[in-house]
Amino acid sequence: MFVDVNNVSRSCAKTLLLLLNGCCILVALCTFIFAVVDTKILQQYGEDRANGTFTGDIIIIVACMLLICLASFGSVGAMKGDVKILYFYIGFLMIMVILEMMIAIYVSLQRYGLEFRVSEWLREDFFRNTTDDIVHNDLWDNLQITYECCGLNGPDDYEAVRKQISLSCCPRAFRARTTYARQLLYRSCVESSTFYNDGCEDEILYALRSDANWLVGVAITSFWFEAACMLLAMWVANNSRKEVSVYVQSIRY
């Protein structure tokens, strides 16, 4: 019993190419969801400060959709063994890799700039002279509950501006349903110092850096997946073309 090594290797290459395309689609879907969620998170920093980063998220969403379509296109070419589709797939994939590198650089620069803008905005907003500014208080309540932080650099900042520690620094008191329970829990929180101890500036900047690092990691992962897809697609296309050539020559003779 003889085993056709070429057919077996070609089948393995097609299967592996389909798996890699599936991984590319999965990565693109995860990145798509991340970018959509991130656009909503960026709204709390204001349109002026997050404008470039918001644009970067939109570009990422479009790139993810293109990658999903391209991976599906390549999967069809692999299943059919169509040489033309595979060569088109390789060409588009090369263009996609270049675009992703440019997008990664653009997003990284925008994230880096956003850190400075957000840091400056937080310091200016926290220490500005406010008394009963509802918008200001709601903003900091939202930030402190979301990022589990208190003040700009810590709860001592409230003492510096001659204010009581914010109610949102004590999560149990902030979420209490009645005024009486809120007062009791807040008093207990302040007396036992069980409020958040980390400053909001560090927590927010850490979250921004983590997002940037995650996006760079995704870009690097996608690059290796796509590079492997290009090599496999090229190998499958060349073997399919040779098989067609051998078949045509055998018919002629």
Write out the DSSP string of 84-127: HHHHHHHHHHHHHHHHHHHHHHHHHHHHHHHHHHHHHHHHHHHH
Domain-embedded: residue 2: no
Q: How far is CA 51 from each of CA 36, 125, 151, rounded to the nearest angstrom? A: 15, 19, 25
pLDDT for 69 equals 92
Contacts of 203 (CB under 8 A, 6+ apart): 147, 148, 149
Alpha-carbon span 159 to 138, nearest angstrom: 19
Task: Kindly indicate the confidence band of residue 17, based on its pLDDT and cuts at 50, 70 and 90.
Answer: confident
Domain limits at 71? 7-124+204-252
Residues 102 and 165 in one domain: no
Tokens of 146: 């979301």
pLDDT for 220 equals 82
Cβ–Cβ contacts within 10 Å for residue 20, how many? Answer: 24
Tokens of 57: 């998220």
User: Which single residue is written with the structure tokens 């996006």?
Assistant: 215
Q: Is 2 helix (H, G, I), strand (E, B) or coil?
A: coil
Whether 11 shows a pLDDT value over 60: the answer reads yes
Domain-embedded: residue 96: yes
The string of pLDDT tens digits covering residues 227-242 is 888 888 888 877 766 6
- C-alpha 32: how far from its chain's center? 7
Task: Kindly indicate the confidence band of residue 214, based on its pLDDT and cuts at 50, 70 and 90.
Answer: confident
Sign of the alpha-carbon torsion through 181, 186, 192, 193: positive
Mean pLDDT, the chain, integer:
81
pLDDT for 2 equals 46
- The pTM of this model reads 0.72
Residues 61 and 182 in one domain: no
Whether 76 shows a pLDDT value over 50: the answer reads yes
Residues 34 and 137 in one domain: no
Contacts of 227 (CB under 8 A, 6+ apart): 97
pLDDT for 65 equals 92
Whether 189 shows a pLDDT value over 50: the answer reads yes
Q: Is 149 helix (H, G, I), strand (E, B) or coil?
A: coil
Q: Is 207 helix (H, G, I), strand (E, B) or coil?
A: helix
Whether 1 shows a pLDDT value over 50: the answer reads no
Determine the average pLDDT of the residues in 72-82: 84
pLDDT for 248 equals 45
Residues 234 and 136 in one domain: no
Domain-embedded: residue 184: yes
Domain-embedded: residue 46: yes
Whether 244 shows a pLDDT value over 70: the answer reads no
pLDDT for 251 equals 52
Residues 147 and 51 in one domain: no
Domain-embedded: residue 68: yes
